[in-house]
Amino acid sequence: MGSSSSLTNTILSSLYKVFSLHITEKVLVQESIYIERILMGDSVGCQDQIMTCFSGPINLIKFLKTDTFQVFPSNSLNFIFLKNLSLLSKNLILCNTGIFRSSSKISSYYINSIRNNHANTDKKKLFKLYFKLIKKFLLFMNIPKINNFDYIGHLLNSA
């Protein structure tokens, strides 16, 4: 996930360093998105570019309506959330299913669907459900003492 964005960011950052030019993370993100969306014609989001430009174990991204974003580094998160995140990561396993997908194709489908006003009520309901799941996850992660990660498993399975 995010491998093409990582490569784009790395190449772009390296070119700036070769020519001894300074670039901020925010500008690097914007230029990477421009390369992938405009020059390469990919229908991609921008969360991967942001996460690969802003280093750290975890950052939260807030997307604003004006095509801009804010990054909140992990040190701005509360201690309980970080402790629970660490516990959660020790209780997860990542499995390779051998199933491949093209995020560009999937993104393109959804973008065209929205542009052509085919975003039917089922899709809108699905997006609302995702937001509810995310809110539940964030509330759960701020509980001082978590002793049952089955709830998170059910949330992930629902998504």
User: Is residue 16's pLDDT more than 90?
Assistant: yes
Cβ-based neighbours of 133, under 8 Å, separated by 6 or more? 155, 158, 159
Structural domains of the chain, with CATH = 1-76 (3.30.230.10), 78-159 (no CATH)
Provide the token pair at 44: 């991609």
Residue 84's pLDDT is what?
77
- Residues 7 and 107: their CA atoms lie apart, in Å, by 19
pTM passes above 0.75: no
Each residue of 65-94: pLDDT tens digit? 777 888 877 666 677 777 777 787 787 787
Q: How confident is the model at residue 153 (pLDDT cuts 50, 70, 90)?
A: confident
